[in-house]
Amino acid sequence: MTARTLALVLALLLAAPVAPAAVPDEAFDDYREVFKALGEQHAEAIVTVKFVMSVTNSGNEQRVEDRTQAVLVSADGLLLVPERTISLDFSSFGEGGQGAPVATSRDFRVRLADSDEWLAADLVTRDSALGLAWLRMRTPPSPLPFVDLSDGVRAEPGMVYFSVLRTSDEWGGVPVFRPGLVLGETHTPTFRLLVDGVPGLAFSHDGKPMGYVDVDLASMMRSRNTGVGMDMADLVLRMTPIDKVAAATAQAARLPVAGAD
Amino acid sequence: MIRQTTAALLAACLFVAAPARAQPETTPGPAPDPATIAAARDQVLPVVVSILVVREDFRQGEPVLSVSSGSGTVVTPQGHIATNAHVTQNGKSFRVVFADGRELPARLVGADTLSDLAVLQAQPPAPEVFAHARFADEPDLAPGDTVLAMGAPWGLSNSMSAGVVNNPRRLLVSLFDDEADYEDRLGADEPTGRYYAWIQHDAAIAPGNSGGPLVDLRGRIVGVNTRGMIFGGDLAFAIPGPDARDVVDALITRGAIKRSHLGFRLRSLKGTGLAQGVLVNSVERGSAAEKAGLRAGDRILAVDGTPVTALQPVDVPALQRRIAELPIGAEVALRIAHDGRERELKLRTRAQPEDRGEERAFAPFGASLVELTPGMGRRRNLEGERGLLLTGLRPGGPAAIARPALSEGDLLLAVDGQPVPDHAALEAAAAQPPAEGRPRVLSFRRGAEHRVALLVPVHGDQLRVPLPELPKAWAGVEVQPITASLARELGLGGAGFRITRLYPGSPLAAAGARTGDLLTAIDGVPLRAANDSSDDPFHQRVRDQIVGAKVRVEALREGKPVAFDATLSAAPANTASLRSLALSSLRIQVRELGFYDRAARQLPASQRGVHVDGVESGGPAGLAHLQRGDVIVRLGEREVGDLASLQSALDAALAAGNGRVIPVQVLRGPESRILYLERYWLTETP
């Protein structure tokens, strides 16, 4: 900062009147209680997963290690992750059609809350229509904290929801919370809630799961060139209602890990 | 193969920036007589060969095969072929193609990276005497002399171009470079060009000309084309013929070039105002030169009593070479000027250390490693260490997820306390799985720090499991959306989804639907197209049903209502759900042939085969020209229906041992093709 800029900033600060509190403390309602309750109920069920995604092109396999957020959904180590981290079909982006490469993942490892170990996990199954996939920990320490998806609430436009995320070990692996808003709903091509916020499991203010929020990569790629019209209406995330997430998870819970048969 | 080094690129950029100053003057004489050119051509072109190389490089910690090509010249009656070392570098197998189209396997006789020269020898089925060309004995080229470049640019064999010599003694040091950086820019671990100035000429060459001859009008090999420039026009560089001849002869005789080393580098007197001697540019720590008292900045006036002088950078390589050619272990006397006084130093030469060690992949660690030579150690401040330098890691592999993770540039010193100075030591220490899957303790250097890490090795093949999906309901049709307005314009009588393809035996086919029917509702709920292009609303409506559900699908056929009672089945497996196999013997990735593969190719439902997902270009399948997307239906004498039958067909074909080639029948597009696997590819390529 130059001396001139510094002087200008100081002058502005000195000139600014001391503003009285516009809203009394007792009338101000923030998210502290919600965050505290969510932390106590669910933070330990939110874990970090590392995986290796590979794409084969011209016979040569390129691999890259990546990380995502996962939710423990059973006491015996079933994990819910976004399906895009398991398989990514580039033809769905309109690039290359039938010949487009498909990226697939393996070497899943899970880091539980308050642990510095990476534990192996295997793919169970996935549901590309819902954009969900399930992993199972190979040797889960039991019992594990988990989110009961069967005890959810129906999301509706106008509702506020909360996401629980876990930072990487670079930031200490601590939980962080993000509020989001249900912006609308659509039945095209099927019923989904349209939301802002971040990908992951959405909770109500009292800690009930509401749905799974994710980005629709294929749709996003199709509408990436909006031009100068700046039509922002499609720039939303989609939330799969919790009843669909719970039903699919119940199916996945009965399956062995992929390749075990 | 033409290697575009940083030096060449930098030089090219400089030429572009300052063409007037950088371009050498040429004095072209009268156009040569066509008969003279033809005579020179006929002496050499018939013995110029194209060289096909299967290379093994390392990427992400794993070996990768590829095919490259270069050029060479037969230089002895025994079939020795002179080429560039960078053509044969990392080569695992070689084939040479003669001007008459005859193709022979070849073996590597020797390579010398410091001169960028190598020798192959053709391996004919029966002994024969080869026609050959000769090197020039003297470096007698002058600017403007006509020269002919011969070889296989871009793999196009029997090619020849003509040009003139621009400068017979060229060093890639431009007017703006510091000559002290020259060697560093040539290649950190393989400083080609330390001992030789190049011939700069403008006979057009391209990648693939590397190793090919530069020929004068007397039909002599006056140079070996080594590098060209992508930018800057037809600028090409060749190793002088007489120098190349000496190296080639030594490689044929001894298989390697041994050089002496005193531990210092030189630079010219340019810019110093001095007129005698050559400057010592740098002195290696712990070298014979340092121990004898030589220091950077000293000036060498004489070697063993013979005065030496390098006024310009181009004079330096010959001096470097003169020192390198001293007998190993001999005592040498240097007359030097130090702080204004002259004195004599006596040094004993040592064998020049290898510039770069052998690189290999070690699968249990998921890493590629190179043996650290003293020269490499010196350049990395790792002097005196012996170990294996990590050059690549497989993401997610054992080394990449070790605790802490290893990284490129780490020097592995010991495994479970056993030193690993070379690959053999690593194999001995860690080739077998550790007891009870225990992690191994690795000692390594990272920079100046000595660290330890725990690594859990992975032995055996990487498993490839399919990516299964939860079963979803399927109606068995492809559809086109018809919006209300489109239906009105087309006079279709209603909106919905028009059947564009009906899969035989599918639920709607079984229920009596036909292509062209307009589907309007499922179980009484209208089907609404969102736009003219997305069929997703129909498929999602179907997927939202339960597998096995009985649904009533309403439709319009030629404007009249019809209805189908269909029992929805589970959708066929999509591509990612199919089982795959990495077949290491063929170096391909294959998977089961799925429903959608057959649908896309309009193959019958009964079509069996194996879909090729990936082909490594230098592997046996790549050499046989298999392509991604091919469907293998037959190999050798056996039908291929699935992954297991492919493996057994290959085993059977190899066991049968009859014939030189193994035929492979594939479906490619609308055709059925026959490709041929050479049997030796499966046994000789790594």
| pLDDT for res B172 | 66
pLDDT at B233 over 70: no
- Residue B168 in tokens: 């017979």
Q: How far apart are CA B588 and CA B614, in angstroms?
A: 6
Question: At B500, is the pLDDT very low, low, confident or very high (cuts 50, 70, 90)?
Answer: very high
A chain contacts of residue B466, beta-carbon cutoff 8 Å: 258-259
pLDDT digits (tens, 9 = 90+) for A93-131: 554 444 566 788 888 999 999 898 899 999 999 998 899
Residue A189: which of B469, B540, B574 has the nearest Cβ?
A: B540
Least confident range from B109-113, B182-186, B508-512: namely B182-186
Q: How far apart are CA B395 and CA B62, in angstroms?
A: 10
pLDDT at B685 over 80: no
Most confident of B14-18, B326-330, B516-520, B624-628: B516-520
Radius of gyration of chain B (CA): 34
| pLDDT for res B464 | 65
A56 interfaces chain B, CB cutoff of 8 Å: yes
| pLDDT for res A97 | 46
B627 to chain A, minimum CA–CA distance in Å?
Answer: 8
Contact: A252, B619; criterion CB under 8 Å: no
Question: At B570, is the pLDDT very low, low, confident or very high (cuts 50, 70, 90)?
Answer: very high
| pLDDT for res A42 | 97
Q: Tell how far CA B577 is from the center of its chain.
A: 32
B chain contacts of residue A248, beta-carbon cutoff 8 Å: 470
| pLDDT for res A200 | 96
pLDDT at A8 over 60: no
Tally of CA atoms within 13 A in the half-sphere of A232 that contains its CB? 4
| pLDDT for res A95 | 46
Contact: B600, A98; criterion CB under 8 Å: yes
Contact: B540, A86; criterion CB under 8 Å: no
Phi, psi of B650 (to 5 degrees): -65, -45
- Asked if residues B661 and B635 have their Cβ atoms less than 8 Å apart, the reply is no
| pLDDT for res B583 | 84
Residue A189: which of B536, B587, B613 has the nearest Cβ?
A: B536
Contact: B544, A62; criterion CB under 8 Å: no
| pLDDT for res A99 | 53
- Asked if residues B665 and B632 have their Cβ atoms less than 8 Å apart, the reply is yes
pLDDT at B23 over 50: no
- Residue B320 in tokens: 């470097």
- Asked if residues B396 and B302 have their Cβ atoms less than 8 Å apart, the reply is no
pLDDT at B610 over 80: yes
Determine the average pLDDT of the residues in B540-547.
Answer: 92
B chain contacts of residue A189, beta-carbon cutoff 8 Å: 530, 534, 536-537, 539-541
Give me chain B's average pLDDT, please.
87
Phi, psi of A178 (to 5 degrees): -130, 125
If one counts every other C-beta atom within 10 angstroms of the C-beta of residue B556, the result is 21
Q: Which residues numbered 362-391 in B keep a CB inside 8 Å of some CB on A?
A: none
A67-97: buried (b, 16+ CB within 10 Å) or exposed (e) per residue? Answer: ebbbbbbbeebbbbbbbbbbbbbbeebeeee
| pLDDT for res B20 | 28
> Hey, what domains does chain A have and what are their CATH numbers?
33-225+234-253 (2.40.10.120)
Residue A199 or B194, more confident: A199
Contact: A59, B59; criterion CB under 8 Å: no
Most confident of B20-34, B188-202, B495-509: B495-509
**Does A143 sit behind a cis peptide bond, omega within 30 degrees of 0 on the bond before it?**
yes
pLDDT digits (tens, 9 = 90+) for B586-601: 888 898 999 989 988 8
A251 interfaces chain B, CB cutoff of 8 Å: yes
| pLDDT for res A93 | 59
- Residue B109 in tokens: 């006789």
Q: How far apart are CA A222 and CA A219, in angstroms?
A: 5
**Does B404 sit behind a cis peptide bond, omega within 30 degrees of 0 on the bond before it?**
yes
- Asked if residues B645 and B14 have their Cβ atoms less than 8 Å apart, the reply is no
Q: How far apart are CA B261 and CA B351, in angstroms?
A: 6
User: Where in chain B are all domains bearing CATH 2.30.42.10?
Assistant: 260-351, 359-455, 473-570, 575-684
Contact: A99, B400; criterion CB under 8 Å: no
Contact: A190, B537; criterion CB under 8 Å: yes
Percentage of chain A beyond pLDDT 90 is 60
- Residue B566 in tokens: 């269909």
pLDDT at A62 over 80: no
pLDDT at B362 over 70: yes
Residue B470: which of A50, A98, A248 has the nearest Cβ?
A: A248
| pLDDT for res B27 | 46
Contact: B616, A89; criterion CB under 8 Å: no
Residue B107 or B326, more confident: B107
| pLDDT for res B18 | 27
Interface test with B, best of A63, A245, A251 (most B CBs within 10 A): A63
Q: How far apart are CA B329 and CA A245, in angstroms?
A: 78
- The third-level CATH classification (topology) of the domain covering B359-455 is Pdz3 Domain (2.30.42)
Residues 6+ apart with CB under 8 A from B524: B552, B554
Phi, psi of A117 (to 5 degrees): -100, 145
Interface test with A, best of B394, B470, B535 (most A CBs within 10 A): B470
Residues 6+ apart with CB under 8 A from B69: B1, B50, B51, B52, B53, B152, B155, B208
Q: How far apart are CA B358 and CA A221, in angstroms?
A: 45
Determine the average pLDDT of the residues in B620-649.
Answer: 93
Residue A125 or B25, more confident: A125
Interface test with A, best of B467, B595, B631 (most A CBs within 10 A): B467
A168 interfaces chain B, CB cutoff of 8 Å: no
A253 interfaces chain B, CB cutoff of 8 Å: no
Q: How far apart are CA B123 and CA B113, in angstroms?
A: 23
| pLDDT for res B324 | 87
Q: How far apart are CA B684 and CA B654, in angstroms?
A: 13
A111 interfaces chain B, CB cutoff of 8 Å: no
Place of tokens 């990449």: B400
B629 interfaces chain A, CB cutoff of 8 Å: yes
A chain contacts of residue B615, beta-carbon cutoff 8 Å: 58-59
Q: How far apart are CA B244 and CA B680, in angstroms?
A: 33
Distance from first CA to last CA of chain B, Å, rounded?
Answer: 22
User: Where in chain B are all domains bearing CATH 2.40.10.10?
Assistant: 6-44+134-254, 48-122
Determine the average pLDDT of the residues in B197-220.
Answer: 92
pLDDT at A25 over 80: no
| pLDDT for res B380 | 86
Tally of CA atoms within 13 A in the half-sphere of B116 that contains its CB? 33
Distance from first CA to last CA of chain A, Å, rounded?
Answer: 65
Contact: A189, B530; criterion CB under 8 Å: yes
Among candidates A51, A168, A72, which has minimal Cα distance to B401?
A51
Among candidates B212, B46, B220, which has minimal Cα distance to B130?
B46
Among candidates B449, B388, B431, B379, which has minimal Cα distance to B189?
B379
Contact: B614, A61; criterion CB under 8 Å: yes
Its pTM surpasses 0.80:
no
Residue A260 or B134, more confident: B134
Interface test with B, best of A138, A190, A216 (most B CBs within 10 A): A190
DSSP letter (8 states) at residue B158: S
- Residue B95 in tokens: 């084939």
A24 to chain B, minimum CA–CA distance in Å?
Answer: 49
- B611: nearest CA in chain A? A99
Q: Which residues numbered 114-143 in A keep a CB inside 8 Å of some CB on B?
A: 118, 122-123, 125-129
pLDDT digits (tens, 9 = 90+) for B445-461: 999 999 999 998 987 65
Most confident of B53-67, B462-476, B624-638: B624-638
Architecture of domain B575-684: Roll (2.30)
A chain contacts of residue B64, beta-carbon cutoff 8 Å: 60
ipTM over 0.85 threshold: no
- A55: nearest CA in chain B? B614
Residue B180 or B373, more confident: B373
- Asked if residues B114 and B194 have their Cβ atoms less than 8 Å apart, the reply is yes
Least confident range from A203-217, B28-42, B60-74, B615-629: namely B28-42
Q: How far apart are CA B163 and CA B200, in angstroms?
A: 11
Dihedral (CA of B650, B652, B657, B660) sign: negative
Q: Which residues numbered 49-88 in B keep a CB inside 8 Å of some CB on A?
A: 59-60, 64
For B473-570, give the CATH class. Answer: mainly beta
Among candidates B250, B278, B280, B277, which has minimal Cα distance to B264?
B280
pLDDT digits (tens, 9 = 90+) for B48-58: 999 999 888 89
Least confident range from A7-11, B82-86, B320-324, B627-631: namely A7-11
- Asked if residues B53 and B68 have their Cβ atoms less than 8 Å apart, the reply is yes
- B536: nearest CA in chain A? A189
| pLDDT for res B24 | 36
Q: How far apart are CA B540 and CA B386, in angstroms?
A: 62
- The third-level CATH classification (topology) of the domain covering B6-44+134-254 is Thrombin, subunit H (2.40.10)
CATH code for the domain defined by B48-122: 2.40.10.10
Contact: B614, A99; criterion CB under 8 Å: no
- Asked if residues B539 and B593 have their Cβ atoms less than 8 Å apart, the reply is no
Determine the average pLDDT of the residues in B560-578.
Answer: 91
Determine the average pLDDT of the residues in A67-78.
Answer: 97
Q: How far apart are CA B200 and CA B475, in angstroms?
A: 70
Contact: A52, B396; criterion CB under 8 Å: yes
B536 to chain A, minimum CA–CA distance in Å?
Answer: 6
A104 to chain B, minimum CA–CA distance in Å?
Answer: 8
Q: How far apart are CA B233 and CA B229, in angstroms?
A: 7
Q: How far apart are CA A38 and CA A210, in angstroms?
A: 13
Q: Which CATH superfamily is domain B260-351 in?
A: PDZ domain (2.30.42.10)
DSSP strand pairing (B350-351 vs B159-170): unpaired
A252 interfaces chain B, CB cutoff of 8 Å: yes
A190 interfaces chain B, CB cutoff of 8 Å: yes
Residue B470: which of A64, A65, A251 has the nearest Cβ?
A: A251
A62 interfaces chain B, CB cutoff of 8 Å: yes
Q: How far apart are CA A131 and CA A151, in angstroms?
A: 21
**Does B395 sit behind a cis peptide bond, omega within 30 degrees of 0 on the bond before it?**
no
B516 interfaces chain A, CB cutoff of 8 Å: no
A254 interfaces chain B, CB cutoff of 8 Å: no
A chain contacts of residue B543, beta-carbon cutoff 8 Å: 129, 190
Q: How far apart are CA A72 and CA B450, in angstroms?
A: 39
- Asked if residues B483 and B520 have their Cβ atoms less than 8 Å apart, the reply is no
With left for phi above 0 and alpha for psi between -120 and 50, is residue A45 left, alpha or beta? alpha
Q: How far apart are CA B522 and CA B554, in angstroms?
A: 6
| pLDDT for res B9 | 39
pLDDT at B308 over 70: yes
pLDDT at A224 over 70: no
Q: How far apart are CA A79 and CA A104, in angstroms?
A: 18
B540 interfaces chain A, CB cutoff of 8 Å: yes
With left for phi above 0 and alpha for psi between -120 and 50, is residue B659 left, alpha or beta? left
Residue A99: which of B60, B530, B629 has the nearest Cβ?
A: B629
Determine the average pLDDT of the residues in A56-60.
Answer: 61
Residue A128: which of B469, B530, B622 has the nearest Cβ?
A: B469
| pLDDT for res B584 | 79
Determine the average pLDDT of the residues in B77-87.
Answer: 96
Contact: A125, B622; criterion CB under 8 Å: no
- Asked if residues B542 and B548 have their Cβ atoms less than 8 Å apart, the reply is no
- Residue B444 in tokens: 């390594």
Residues 6+ apart with CB under 8 A from B681: B619, B620, B623, B624
| pLDDT for res A226 | 61
Residue B576: which of A60, A89, A188 has the nearest Cβ?
A: A89
B405 interfaces chain A, CB cutoff of 8 Å: no
Least confident range from B4-8, B417-421, B487-491: namely B4-8
Determine the average pLDDT of the residues in A219-236.
Answer: 76
pLDDT at B355 over 90: no
What stretch of H or E contains A201? strand A200-203
